[in-house]
Structure 1
Amino acid sequence: MARVRIVPSKLKGEIKAPPSKSITHRAIICGGIADGISNIDNVVFSEDIIATLNGMKSFGANDITKAYTHTNIRDNLTIKGNGKLEVIENTINCSESGSTLRFLIPLGALCDKEITYTGRGKLIERPLEQYYKIFNEQNIEYSNQNNKLPLIVKGRLNPGDFKLKGDISSQFITGLMLALPLLEGDSRILLTTELESKGYVDLTMDILKRFSIEIENNDYNEFYIKGNQKYQSNSIRVEGDFSQAAFWLVAGLLGKNIKCRDIHKDSLQGDKAILNIIKSMKGNINIKNDYIQTKESLTKGATVDASQCPDLVPVVAALGAVSRGTTTIINAERLRIKESDRLKAIATELNKLGADIKETKDGLRIEGKDRLNGGEVDSWNDHRIAMALGIISIKCSKEVIINNSDVVKKSYPHFWDDFQKLKGNIKYI
C-alpha cells in the first residue's frame, strides 16, 4: 500500500485541470452506441474510465484506439460503433465505478441477454433499489447476493413511465436517459422528489444532444424521451473537471497563488459551484475566460448546501477547517454511501490532524482554526479523501503522512505529480 509523506509548503504556480470524468463516461458510452467513428479528445485513463471503456467493449464497441500525446497523460480516443448494442461479453466488471455500473445496467437490459455485473470495494454495496423497482414492475429477472454485487440481470426493458426519486443519485436518471431513446416506444422519467445534482443531468442531456439524441425537460420534474432514436457519431473535446480543479483552487487560497486552466465559468458542471462557495467564504478569486486564479486568503466560515455538488464536500471541509468562524455543510447525507462514508471519513481524518469537526445527520459542523497540527491519516480507500488531505497539508505545522495515497488512480492518476509541479514537497514511502 503506497503512502506519501508531505512536508508542508505553500503551493503556487499554474496547472491544467484534468478532463471531466463525468463527461468522459458519457461520451464513451454515446460513442460506443453510435453509428460511425467518434473522436474523444482530452481523456485521462483513470480506473473509472477504463471500467467504462471495458464495459462498452462488452457491448460490441471493440474498435477503440488510444492516441497518446507526448505527455502520456491526456490522450485522444477513437471509438467505432455500429449503431446498436450486442452482448460480446456477458460479465461486466465495473471495478469501483458507480457511474459505470449505474449507466450500463439499463443498456444491458436492452439486449434481453443474461448479464452479470461485478465490482469491488464499496461499489458492491452501493444501492440499486431504483433499478430493482423497475425490474419488478417490468418482470425483468435479477438476482444478487444480499443486495450486493454480483448482480445478474436477464430480461428486456420496455418503454413507459419510470418513476424515480430525485434525491438518491442522478446516476439512475442518466442510466435511463442513455437507454430509453433506443426503445421502440416513447417513455417518461417522472421524479417523485426534488432533483439533486441537476448539473449531472444537464451534462447528460448536453452530451446526448451532441450525439443526436433529444430529451424534453419539463422543469426537472419530468423528462420525455421519444423512442426509435439513433445515436450519431461525433467528435468532442472533454473540458476540464471542476470537481478536480476545486482541489487546486482551494490550494491557492491556502498557499500563495494558483492559476487553473481549462475550466470555464459557463460550464454545465454542477461542481462549478466551488466558485460561489469560495466567494461566500471570502476567498480571493479571479475568474477569467481562459483561467481561474486563487490567491492566499483569510477565508471565513459559511453555510454550504451540498445537495447539488456533493463531490465538493471533502475539499470544502478542509477549507472550513482553517477558515475563521463556523462552516456548516448541509444536505450531504448521500455522501455516506459513496466510495466511503465521506462525512465520517473526512471528519475523522481532519480531526486527527487537529481540526474541530462534528458530524451531523446530513453534514458537518466545522469550527475553524488558524492552522492544524499534522500527523498520519488514511484515505479510507477514497480518492477525494486522499486529495483533500493532501491539500490541507499546506496549513499544517508538521508533516502529513497519507496511507493508501495511490487511491487517486481511481479518478486522477497524476494528482501527486501535479502536486509536486506546484512546489509540493512529497516523498513516497
Structure 2
Amino acid sequence: MTDELRVAPGGALRGEIDVPGDKSISHRAVMFGALAEGKTRIERFLPGQDCLSTIDCFRRLGIVIEQLSPTDVVVQGKGLRGLTEPSDILDVGNSGTTLRLMAGILAGQPFFSVLTGDSSIRRRPMGRVTAPLTAMGAVIRGRDGGRLAPIAIDGAASALKPLTYSSPVASAQVKSALLLAGLYTEGETAVREPYASRDHTERMLTAFGAKLQVAQEPEGAYCATITGFPDLRGQVITVPGDISSAAFFLVAATIVPGSAVLLRHVGMNPTRDGVIEVLQAMGAKIRSENERMEAGEPVADLYVESASLRGTVVSGGQIPRLIDEIPILAVAALFAEGRTEFRDAAELRVKETDRIATVAAELRKFGACVEEREDGMIIEGGRPLQGATVESHGDHRIAMAMAVAALQAAGETVIHGASCMDVSFPGFARYLASLRS
C-alpha cells in the first residue's frame, strides 16, 4: 500500500471477512518447524513483514522453506542440531518476536551468530532476555552491556545449563526465549510469571512433541517447565485468525452506528481474549459462534453489532491478555460514556514505539481528552472528534487504530506512514473498504 491513507466518515460497516493468520503463531510455526525432524506445513500463514523476517533468518541458518503461496508454507526441519552457522548478520527487521525468541534458540547452537534489526528494534530492551540467558551460560555481547541490539551470541563458547527463573513481568517473548534455550539443556528449565502471558509456545511445542508442564500458582502466578533435548516432529499447523487484527474490526463495528460484521476463524486463546472481555464489559455486542479447536488452539467466528459503550478500568492480570490491543481499546474509550483508565501497562513504553505517548499524542489531534500516565492512560469519552492529520510513528497498531478512530471523526483524516500496517495486517485498508461498500 502507499505510505498515506485517507479515511473519511461514512455509512455502517456490514459484511464478513476472514481475519489474517495470527502473527505470534505464524512466527512460532516456522521456528519450531525448523527445529523439528521432517516436514512442517503451515496453512493460513501470515505473510506480513515480521513473519517474512523470521523465514529469511531461518533460511540463512540453512533451513529450506518453500512458500507454495503467500499463506501456505512448507518448512523442511533438520532437528534441534540441524541449524548451520550463518555467513552474515541475521536481520529481524521490525520483529521483536523474531529477535527475542531467536536469541533463545541461537544461545544453544554450537556456532557464532549476530542479530540486528531496524532502528526501532535497536532501541528495544534486550536485557530482560539476555540476562537470564547469560545465567544459563550463554555468551552474549551487545550494545549497552548486551541490553540493546545488535547482539552477538557465541553458542560454541559454553554449554547451557537449566535455570529456574522468576520473570518480573508477564512476557511471552521472555518466557518463550528461555523455554527455547531450555531445549538445549540437560534437565528442566522453568519460567515463572506474575500472570500468565500468551501460551502459544507451550501449546505448539507440546504438539511438536516437547515434554512441557504448566502450573497455575497462588495469586495468579504461572509457571512453565520444559525438559531438554526432546524429539520434535514436523506437523501440519493451521494458523487461526489473529485476535489482535480482529480487534480493529470489533471496535470499528461497535462504534459505527448500524454496523454488523462477522469475523471468521478468529483465535480465541484464553491468554489472548482479554480484548473481548473488556469490550463486552463496556457494553459491546459480540457473540461467539461455531467454536472449535484447530492445531491445539481454540477458534470461533465472532459476530459484532454496533452498541453504546461505557467507561471501564483495565488493569492488573488483564493487561498481559490484551497488551497489543490497548491502542484500539483506547479508540473504543473515546466513544464510551464516562472515563476509561488503563493501568499497569508500562510494558507499552517498550513496544515498536512508546505506545502510551504515541497513542495519547495522536488521539489528541482528533480533539480527544487523553491524560498520559507513567503506566497507562485516562480517557474521557463522549467528545466529538474532528478529522486530523496523524502519524503512525512506524507502528502498525498505531496506524490501524487511527484509521478506526477516523471512521467517526468529522471530516477526512490523513494517516502518514500507513504502509507499516503490512507488518501485521497486509491489506488492512482493503478489508476496511470491503465492509463499507
Q: Deviations over 1:387-417 (max 9, x none)?
A: 0000111110111100101111111111111
Q: Is the alpha carbon distance of 1:157 and 1:57 closer, same or farther for their aligned partners in structure 2, counting shifts above 3 Å?
A: farther
1:346 alignment partner in structure 2: 359
Alignment partner of 1:148 is 2:163 = no
Kindly indicate whether structure 1 or structure 2 has the higher relative contact order, using CA contacts under 8 Å at least 6 residues apart: 1
1:217 alignment partner in structure 2: 214
Alignment partner of 1:104 is 2:117 = no
Deviates more, 1:336-345 or 1:85-94: 85-94
- The 2-side partners of 1:136 and 1:248 are apart by 42
> What is the aligned counterpart of 1:398 among 397, 411, 422?
411
- Aligned pairs (5 A) from 1:27-106: 27-61=29-63, 63-68=64-69, 75-83=71-79, 84-90=81-87, 91-106=89-104
- The 1-side partners of 2:388 and 2:341 are apart by 25
1:302 alignment partner in structure 2: 312
2:239 alignment partner in structure 1: 238
Deviation at residue 168 of structure 1 after TM alignment: 5.8
Deviates more, 1:147-156 or 1:22-31: 147-156
RMSD across aligned C-alpha pairs, in angstroms? 1.8
Task: Give the letter for the 2:24 counterpart.
Answer: S
Task: Give the letter for the 1:232 counterpart.
Answer: R
1:15 alignment partner in structure 2: 17
1:320 alignment partner in structure 2: 333
Alignment partner of 1:257 is 2:254 = no
- Aligned pairs (5 A) from 1:194-213: 194-195=194-195, 198-200=196-198, 202-213=199-210
Match of 2:183, SS state, is helix
Match of 2:283, SS state, is coil
> What is the aligned counterpart of 1:117 among 81, 103, 115?
115
Q: Deviations over 1:274-296 (max 9, x none)?
A: 22111111112222125211111
- The 2-side partners of 1:166 and 1:211 are apart by 29
Task: Give the letter for the 1:153 counterpart.
Answer: I
Match of 1:39, SS state, is strand
> What is the aligned counterpart of 2:380 among 361, 367, 372?
367
Task: Give the letter for the 1:263 counterpart.
Answer: V
Deviates more, 1:216-225 or 1:11-20: 216-225
Task: Give the letter for the 1:257 counterpart.
Answer: A
Match of 1:402, SS state, is strand
Q: Is the alpha carbon distance of 1:15 and 1:138 closer, same or farther for their aligned partners in structure 2, counting shifts above 3 Å?
A: closer
Q: Is the alpha carbon distance of 1:298 and 1:221 closer, same or farther for their aligned partners in structure 2, counting shifts above 3 Å?
A: closer
Match of 1:43, SS state, is coil
Q: Is the 8 A contact 2:39 2:76 kept in 1?
A: yes
Report sequence identity in percent. 25
Q: Is the alpha carbon distance of 1:228 and 1:141 closer, same or farther for their aligned partners in structure 2, counting shifts above 3 Å?
A: closer
Match of 2:245, SS state, is helix
1:158 alignment partner in structure 2: 160
Q: Is the 8 A contact 1:85 1:111 kept in 2?
A: no
Q: Is the 8 A contact 1:38 1:233 kept in 2?
A: yes
Q: Deviations over 1:335-379 (max 9, x none)?
A: 000000001111110110111110111111000025311110001
> What is the aligned counterpart of 1:137 among 135, 141, 144?
135
Match of 1:262, SS state, is strand
Q: Is the alpha carbon distance of 1:286 and 1:55 closer, same or farther for their aligned partners in structure 2, counting shifts above 3 Å?
A: same
- The 1-side partners of 2:24 and 2:371 are apart by 30
Gaps of 5+ in 2: 291-299
Deviation at residue 205 of structure 1 after TM alignment: 0.8
Q: Is the 8 A contact 1:323 1:370 kept in 2?
A: no
Gaps of 5+ in 1: 69-73, 425-429
Deviates more, 1:280-289 or 1:245-254: 280-289
The number of residue pairs the alignment matches comes to: 411
Deviates more, 1:144-153 or 1:379-388: 144-153
